[in-house]
Structure 1
Amino acid sequence: MNTTAVANTENTTDSAAAARHERFGMLPERVPYQDMVEVKPASPKESVRDAYDPEASWMSFSCLAADLGL
């Protein structure tokens, strides 16, 4: 094998390795946990919606007997 070709291949390999190390040699900066998490309630607080009204509770049921007035 030609000595010049071997040296040229090593030089190309070294420059490629140096380029890879320059680009990928360091890990990215850590992202803090607080920046990754957003805390918000599962459902908004609506006291009107959550309140129980026994007088109006019958309207939420669908029943043929109730529709016929039986």
Structure 2
Amino acid sequence: MESTGTRDSAAAAARHARFGSLPERIRYEDMVQEQRSTPVTGDAYDPERSFVSWSCVALDLGL
């Protein structure tokens, strides 16, 4: 049988091998994606997308 000290040190070595260091730092530039926005005209009506702003109300009312 293994002694308790050997088993603990083996477990500690396994933990240190897996979690012993932090992952590499991710630069802010790598996390951000920039896109140009398209201007929205106030007069445009798109019946295909008209449900998007009211979908929560319809679900709340049980429709």
TM-score range relative to shorter protein: 0.5 to 0.7
* Structure 1: tracts of 5 or more residues without a match: 51-56, 58-70
Alignment correspondent of 1:30: 25
Which runs of structure 1 show a deviation greater than 3 angstroms over 4 or more consecutive aligned residues?
A: none
With the length of structure 2 as denominator, give the TM-score of the two structures.
0.55
* Structure 2: tracts of 5 or more residues without a match: 44-63
Give the RMSD, CA atoms, in angstroms: 2.9
- How many residues are aligned here? 44
Higher helix share: 1
Q: Alpha-carbon deviation of 1:44?
A: 1.2
Matched-pair identity in %: 44
Question: Within the alignment, does 1:44 sit opposite 2:38 as a pair?
Answer: yes
Q: Alpha-carbon deviation of 1:45?
A: 4.3
With the length of structure 1 as denominator, give the TM-score of the two structures.
0.50
Q: Alpha-carbon deviation of 1:11?
A: 0.4
